């Protein structure tokens, strides 16, 4: 385990030389950056900045701010102002879980002619991005996130770097963000995300923007692919070009195109997907969406332009369900409106709704002979068996989490088969598959011997009760704890 607490590790190259900066590499079971700890690589010479590579078997965590108001971070910069300036170093993170909170972030940036570094983040279980730094010195590092940007405002500004993310479950909440941006003629970097499930809530945002007020570069493309589902609640996927100089068909495809694919569902609740060019001649980026289900509730999908043509919107789905207060729009104020193509058999679902008959079924003859009289008893019964509470919903208040099993040493004598089952239960729980998690924890509880693994069973009981609670079976969770108290509490 490596813990960096309010400290800095810096690699830099400067002056009139062509030497590359040194690399920074960390490898451990777990890596924690807390209270403003920073890993930084920068170049202000003709040499390239060194790359930063972080690898952890269990987890990489960014949390806490220091007394000066800086959050924990990894950063690479290109600061040179000549046309021979070196490029910023790349950043690569590899782990099982990666957690950003309290404004913790990674950023690759160029402030001159050099290119911003590329960012590659791979976490085979999960990535969580949440929260903000209330004392942040600048807006782009205020919120937890993954950031690449070109800050130079000259006509020869370097391009922003690409962001590549691959994980099992991507969760973003409370203003968490993934973004690329350009403030000058440089292009903003593309964002490529591959995950099993993607969940954005509470003002989370994935975006790319060209913010220059004059002769700006192109906004980056968003390529988002989920093997299962993508859900947005009060969140957004956006690309924007304020005043792009992109004017021909060959480069327009760079200008904020959004491609979203999911094998099962894309669900938008009070959320937006937008691609827009606010002025000049650039065309709006296209939006392509291809799942099995598209659900829109009080949400918008928009591809707009100002003088150029509006972007095209193409939605391919087996089922497209849109509330009356949702909007799909592709327009231009002075150019040609974009095309909207929705390939879905039930786009207009109201046409398939059957009208109820006016002559309702007459149940009077059954009321004359109630159940109590037919079975010669004095009472009638209506028995409904099922959940005793409503299952949790993503945007509701959350109950306390179960005991964290990360880094827990397994007791001696525990078989590899049982360890595999326990890890599988943790994965189901992390991915929100609580029914499968409950089945796995129940199996473990049965197989673990009370005499041999008495204390370890408490962890399994805690996680099983948590799964029951998430599914709405509160009585079973309470009964499980009551039985445990009889055995463990004296």
For residues 251 and 273, the answer to whether their CB atoms sit within 8 Å is no
CA gap 56, 96 in Å, rounded? 7
For residue 179, the Cα-to-chain-centroid distance in whole angstroms is 12
Contact (Cβ atoms closer than 8 angstroms) between residue 195 and residue 231: no
Query: Is residue 250's pLDDT more than 50?
Result: no
Query: Distance (Å, rounded) from C-alpha 12 to C-alpha 40?
Result: 8
Assess whether pLDDT exceeds 80 at residue 246: no
Residue 356 has what pLDDT? 63
Give the highest mean pLDDT range of 89-93, 147-151, 350-354, 449-453: 89-93
Instruction: Identify the H or E element spanning 434.
Output: helix 434-447
DSSP 260: E
Could you tell me if 291 and 266 are in contact, meaning their C-beta atoms sit under 8 angstroms apart?
yes
Mention every residue, 6+ apart, whose C-beta is less than 8 A from residue 46: 16, 17, 18, 80, 82, 84, 85, 86
Give the percent of the chain with pLDDT over 70.
80
Nearest CA to 126 out of 164, 178, 90, 172 is that of: 172
Give the least confident one: 165-174, 246-255, 317-326, 335-344: 246-255
Taking residues 256-260, report their average pLDDT. 92
State the average pLDDT for the chain: 84
Entry pTM: 0.70
Q: Which residue(s) pair with 327 in the sheet?
A: 300
Interacting residues of 92 by C-beta distance below 8 A, sequence separation 6+: 51, 52, 53, 54, 119, 120, 121, 122
CB atoms within 10 A of CB 346: 13
Judge: domain 410-490, CATH 1.25.40: yes
Q: What span, in angstroms and rounded, lies between the C-alpha atoms of 212 and 151?
A: 10
What pLDDT, on the 0 to 100 scale, is given for residue 396? 60
Nearest-angstrom CA–CA distance, 301 and 315: 10
Going through 64-138 in order, the beta strands assigned E by DSSP cover 73-78, 91-100, 105-110, 119-130
* DSSP SS3 for 462: helix
What does the domain layout of the chain look like in residue ranges?
1-163+177-184, 190-350, 410-490
For the stretch 205-228, pLDDT in tens is 999 998 887 777 888 999 999 999
How many C-beta neighbours within 10 Å does residue 396 have?
9
d(CA 428, CA 216): 45
Contact between 188 and 220 under an 8 Å Cβ cutoff? The reply is: yes
Distance between CA atoms of residues 53 and 49, nearest Å: 13
* Predicted local confidence at residue 226, as pLDDT: 97
pLDDT in tens, 125-156: 999 999 999 888 887 789 999 999 988 776 66
């Amino acid at each position: 385990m490596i813990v960096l607490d309010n400290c800095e590790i810096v690699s830099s190259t400067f002056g009139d030389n062509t030497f590359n900066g040194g690399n920074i590499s960390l490898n451990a079971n777990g890596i924690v950056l807390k209270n403003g700890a920073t890993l930084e690589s920068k170049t202000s010479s003709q040499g390239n900045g060194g790359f930063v590579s972080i690898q952890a078997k269990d987890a990489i965590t960014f949390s806490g701010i220091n007394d000066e108001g800086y959050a924990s971070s990894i950063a690479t910069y290109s600061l040179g102002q000549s046309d021979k300036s070196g490029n910023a170093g790349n950043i690569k993170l590899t782990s099982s879980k990666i957690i950003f909170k309290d404004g913790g972030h990674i950023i690759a940036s160029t402030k001159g002619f050099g290119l911003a570094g590329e960012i590659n983040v791979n976490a085979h279980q999960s990535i969580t991005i949440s929260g903000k730094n209330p004392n942040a010195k600048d807006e782009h590092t205020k919120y937890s996130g993954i950031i690449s940007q070109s800050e130079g405002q000259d006509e020869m500004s370097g391009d922003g770097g690409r962001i590549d993310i691959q994980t099992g479950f991507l969760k973003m909440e409370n203003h968490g963000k993934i973004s690329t941006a350009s403030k000058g003629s440089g292009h903003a970097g593309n964002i490529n995300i591959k995950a099993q499930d993607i969940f954005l809530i509470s003002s989370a945002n994935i975006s790319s923007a060209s913010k220059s007020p004059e002769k700006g570069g192109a906004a980056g493309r968003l390529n988002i692919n989920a093997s299962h589902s993508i859900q947005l609640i009060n969140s957004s996927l956006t690309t924007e070009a304020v005043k792009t100089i992109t004017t021909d068909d060959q480069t327009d495809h760079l200008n904020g195109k959004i491609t979203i694919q999911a094998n099962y569902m894309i669900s938008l609740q009070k959320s937006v997907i937008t691609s827009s060019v606010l002025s000049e001649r650039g065309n709006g980026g296209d939006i392509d969406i291809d799942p099995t289900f598209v659900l829109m509730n009080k949400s918008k999908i928009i591809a707009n332009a100002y003088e150029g043509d509006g972007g095209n919107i193409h939605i391919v789905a087996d089922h497209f369900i849109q509330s009356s207060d949702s909007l799909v729009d592709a327009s231009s104020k002075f150019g040609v409106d974009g095309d909207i193509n929705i390939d879905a058999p039930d786009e207009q679902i109201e046409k398939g709704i059957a009208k109820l008959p006016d002559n309702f079924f007459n149940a009077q003859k059954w009321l004359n002979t109630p159940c109590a009289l037919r079975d010669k008893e004095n009472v009638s019964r209506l028995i409904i068996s099922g959940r005793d509470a409503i299952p949790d919903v993503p945007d509701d208040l959350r109950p306390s989490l179960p005991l964290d099993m990360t880094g827990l040493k397994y007791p001696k004598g525990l078989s590899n088969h049982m360890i595999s089952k326990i890890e599988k239960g943790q994965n189901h729980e992390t991915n929100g598959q609580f029914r499968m998690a409950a089945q796995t924890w129940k199996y473990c509880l049965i197989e673990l011997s009370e005499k041999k693994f008495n204390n370890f069973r408490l962890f399994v009981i805690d996680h099983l009760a948590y799964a029951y609670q998430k599914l709405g079976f509160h009585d079973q969770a309470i009964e499980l704890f009551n039985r445990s108290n009889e055995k463990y509490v004296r």
